[in-house]
Amino acid sequence: MKIKEVPQDLKFFKNNLVRDVAYAVDDSGNYTTVISDGWEVKNDALDITWENINNNCDEIRQKVLSGELSPFAFHLEKNLMNISLFAKYSGHSKRKIKQLLKPENFNKLDDDILRKYAEILRISVEELKTV
């Protein structure tokens, strides 16, 4: 692909906070890096991915509202974290983190632990307690 052919589809990169680097051929025939503002095919894939994530969040939200899961489960999903990753961030075992998906265990957490978990998720303690 030549430099002028590098896609510049601004669908997901409107704010220019994140941009892609593509490799293209310059006028001399050498490969060089070019900043790309997006690509339609990649945007379509991101659309599908975010739709799946949002659907998962909606399903988990319903389970939280029905009392099957704790709000913690929703916030893990929303932040694209699994139990293993959160356990590493928190320094707690995967088993302990998994237990917090149950409302009865999550509701027993003291304020210090809630503060630590909220900080990891970059939300407030009040947000952590709700969906």
CA distances from 24 to 2, 3, 38, 97, 118 (A): 5, 5, 14, 46, 43
CA distances from 122 to 19, 75, 76, 79 (A): 23, 10, 11, 9
CATH 3.30.310 correct for 42-128: no
Instruction: Read off the pLDDT of residues 62-111 as tens digits, 9 standing for 90 and up.
Output: 999 999 999 999 999 999 999 999 999 999 999 999 999 999 999 999 99
Local confidence band at 118 (pLDDT 50, 70, 90 cut-offs): very high
| C-beta contacts of 58-61 below 8 A and 24+ residues apart | 61/131
pTM (two decimals):
0.73
The residue extents of the domains of the chain are 3-38, 42-128
